[in-house]
Every structure is written in C-alpha cells, then in structure tokens.
A and B are shown apart, each in its own frame.
Chain A
Amino acid sequence: MGKRVILHSDINACYAAIEHLHRPELNGKPLAVGGDPEARHGIVLTADYIAKKYGVKTGMALWQAKQVCPELNIVSPRMDLYLRFSRMAHEIYGEYTDLQEPYGVDESWLDVTASGSLKGDGYKIAKEISNRMKSELGITVSIGVSFNKIFAKLGSDYKKPDAITTMYEDEFKSKAWALPVSDLLYVGRSTNQKLARFGIKTIGDLAQTDEHLLMSHLGKMGGILWGFANGYDDSPVKMEHTHAPIKSIGNSTTTQRDLENDEDVKIILYILAESVAARLRDNGFKCRVVEISVRDNELYSFTRQHKIDHATNITGEIATEAYRIFKENYNWRKPIRSVGVRGADLVNDNYWEQMDLFSSVEQREKQMKLDDAVDTIRRRFGFYSVQRGLMYRDKSLSSVNAKEDHTTHPIGYFG
C-alpha cells in the first residue's frame, strides 16, 4: 500500500466563530458561547480567541469567565445552527473525498490519497479547503496533513487558528516528538500522570520508551500509544454513511437545582430513561446493559453498569434498573448535580428472546404496547401531553424534555 494522505480539519472555536459571523456588531469583542446561566448549566462551551487571551476557557463557569474577562459577551448556544454549518463543511470536504470521518461537530478526518492526481498534494488540498471555508462559510479551520490520522490530528492542533501544518514522515520526529505527550489522542489526565512517573514528558519520550515496559504498566493501551507516537497508526478513515451501528444511546442532564434525595433522583432517572427508551425504539434497538452516571456537587463523578436479563427498550424496565443501580451505589454523602442514563450493548429489536419461568411475557408485551401508545400520543400532541404521575411531584425538576434537548457527543475513535 502506498503512502496515505490524511487531513484532519478542525473548525477554529467553532461555535464562537459561527456566532461572530452572525453578529457583526460584536466584531473585535470577546465572545463566549455558554449555557443559559439561569438554568444553572452555566459553563463556557466555546470561547473565541479574544476571550481566550483573557483566560476564558472551555468548561469554566460563566461567572468565572466574567471575572477574568468583564467585557465578555455571552450568547446562548444555537445547536441547530452549528449543525447546519457542520453539514455545509461536510459538503465542502465531500468534494475532495468520500472518505470522511467526523469527530464531533467541528472536526473531520479526510483521506484524500485518491484525489492526489486530480487535486494536487495534501498541502494544496488543505489550502483549497481552508480558502473555501473562509469564503463560503466565513469561518477558519486548522488542518493537519499527514500519513496517518493521529499525526494529522496533532498537525491540526499544532497551530491555531487558520493554519495548515504538515506532519510528513520526514518531519514528525522534529515536529511531533517535541510536543507534550498529553497532546496525543487518548492520553488523558490519568495516563499522563502514569507516563510522567516514568519520566515520559514528550511524544518523543514515549516513542523511544520500550514498548513492553509500556504494555506492562498500561496494558494494551500502552502498546497502542507507543504505536501512535512512532507513526504506526494505520486505522482507516471510515467511509461516509458507513458508521458501524451505534454502540449505545444515552442522555444526561444537569438539573436546575441539586438533587437531595432518592425521590429527586428517581424523577430524573425516569425522565432520562423515557428518552433513552424512546430513542432506542425510534431506531429499532434494544439494550442489554443499563448504565448510570452520577456527578455530585463537588464534581466527583462515577459510572456503573449492569447487564440485564432481557434485551429491552421498555421505559419502565430501564428506569427500574437505573434506579436499582443507583440505590446500590450511592450513599448520599453529597447532593447530586447531574445524572445520566445509557443503554448499551445494543441489539436489533427483533432479537430473539429466551423466555424464562420467572418473567411474564404477557406482562412485558403489555408494557411494550403501553410505550408504543405513549410514543404515538407524544408524536401527535407533544411531549408534555402525557406524563408519569411521578413527574408531578416536582414540576420544576421534571420540566426537561430529555429526548429533544439531548446533545450528541463525538463517537469513539475505535468505534
């Protein structure tokens, strides 16, 4: 196989750039896109480059951001608008290759190997894409050009905004190896700490460490990261529209006020389970694993999952299981700030069922019909037209439509 030409294109400060474009009056002024401060999900989703200079960072609470940058303009996110831009960006990429793999809303890998003869080398294509993004969409991108996905991503992070960085085979030792190892995809905080204990600070350090030593301390991931650092990543850019069927469907929410007791949590778990189950049904899936995530008001978080006996997309079953897992794993030392429910290990909904003596098939069928009926009513008359009695215990807590408000997250690299 010849050398591949892989681009990684990253829209610079994506949400903030799109907001700037639509608000010329804020030109040259610091801007951050953040959740509605009154609904308490008050964090910065994206800050523009001016705000970043003041020290505004993604994930910061809005009041903190205002402290470091008093003139900051905070605007609420308009996800539908960003998704529209994301689609338009994909249309532009699509003119250079059919091999494009999105990574979140604002990043994409493109395998342009086959376009070489027609469109020129990787750098030339990157330049053309960059110019078109500017003139057609009014936003800038950073693009990395390399022979694999990992170094292409490093290249797009190398210089921002509005830059093109090559990471060719004869360059990566001088460019990539000098970077801190935490810049590498999949080196998170905890891996970074482990590596630091061995004196591994840069990607170069990692590349020159003995592979077996890494594997003995980090397991399989040690070998993978070592390969990444040495440029051995040969994972393909996955073709458009050929995503492997999704692995899980989940929803989480930060609540308007802290959750203080079992009943509060039950309300939220049921809302989330309703959304997860409805989305499973919409897509013709059932799950065989239920997972919950909990984050307390000091931002400590954990997830727990449990395999269930019958593949299900019944709201009641998922909710009951989620609540059971929660009861087993939380001791109420602190109030809770956010919770999530996820259905994983998905199968098609025509998946065969092993029947057993202890669960009533008839009962389950009734529940499925019930869910069907609720779905139909909601489709016709709106989400709030039919509610569980539980939701009336606390109207402000239960006023989220988790299914419509849900956010999508990047799919995993190994997906």
Chain B
Amino acid sequence: MESVKVYVDVTAEFSKEGVLTPKSFIWKDGKVYEIQRVKDMRRAASMKAGGVGMRYTCVVDGRESYLYYEDNNLWFVEGKAGA
C-alpha cells in the first residue's frame, strides 16, 4: 500500500519557552483529531510521504502516528493512498 503526503490543518501551542506542540489536527474528511500526548519530537525524514521536518510522535485515539512540521511551515501526516 502506497503512502501519500496529506497536509492538514493543525492547532498548536507555543510555550513561553518557545516549544511548539500540536494539540489537534483536522483530517481531510473534516473530523478533528485530538492529540492526547506527544511522545517524541525530533527532526526526521519521512521516506513514505517524502519530506523532512520536525517529527512529532503523537498519540491519537490511543494509537501512535507521526505528524511532521515541514520547514515550509506546513504540517503533514503520512496517509494511505486512496484512504
């Protein structure tokens, strides 16, 4: 199954220390997904979707998924083709 890059709208929070943390994102069907926890953040390449950025390992609905903040200031997730 081929993965694709899906850009999403994100609500995020800047702490006074300057740390950017995503709080929720809107999937392309319009549904809002709350991010319960961010387990890890690091710069990483997404070989699946094609891109580089800050990678947030987010827990959404009890499951882990990656949310990337690209240096063009767009957020994307690795979606599934046709999904």
How many Å lie between the Cα of A84 and that of B49 in the bound state? 19
Interface size on A, as a range, is 10 to 19
Asked if A22 lies at the interface with its beta carbon under 8 angstroms from chain B, I say yes
Query: How close is A20's CB to chain B, nearest CB, in angstroms?
Result: 8
Inter-subunit contact A136/B52 (CB<8 Å): yes
Partner-contacting stretch, out of B7-15, B22-30, B38-46: B38-46
Chain B residues whose C-beta falls within 8 Å of the C-beta of A24 in the assembled complex: 2-3, 47-50
Inter-subunit contact A21/B52 (CB<8 Å): yes
Asked if B17 lies at the interface with its beta carbon under 8 angstroms from chain A, I say no
Q: Which residue of B lies closest to A135 (CB)?
A: B44
Query: How close is A122's CB to chain B, nearest CB, in angstroms?
Result: 24
Chain B residues whose C-beta falls within 8 Å of the C-beta of A135 in the assembled complex: 44-45
A138 is contacted by which of B2, B3, B42, B47 (Cβ under 8 Å)? B47
B46 is contacted by which of A85, A134, A138, A139 (Cβ under 8 Å)? A138
Inter-subunit contact B3/A21 (CB<8 Å): no
Inter-subunit contact B52/A88 (CB<8 Å): yes
Asked if A241 lies at the interface with its beta carbon under 8 angstroms from chain B, I say no
How many Å lie between the Cα of A203 and that of B25 in the bound state? 59
Which residues of chain A in 137-192 are interfacial with respect to chain B, using CB atoms and an 8 Å cutoff? Answer: 137-139
Inter-subunit contact B52/A137 (CB<8 Å): yes
Asked if A3 lies at the interface with its beta carbon under 8 angstroms from chain B, I say no
Inter-subunit contact A137/B3 (CB<8 Å): no
Chain A residues whose C-beta falls within 8 Å of the C-beta of B46 in the assembled complex: 138
Chain B residues whose C-beta falls within 8 Å of the C-beta of A395 in the assembled complex: none
Q: Which of A21, A24, A88 gathers most chain B CB within 10 Å?
A: A24
Query: How close is B9's CB to chain A, nearest CB, in angstroms?
Result: 22
Inter-subunit contact A138/B48 (CB<8 Å): no
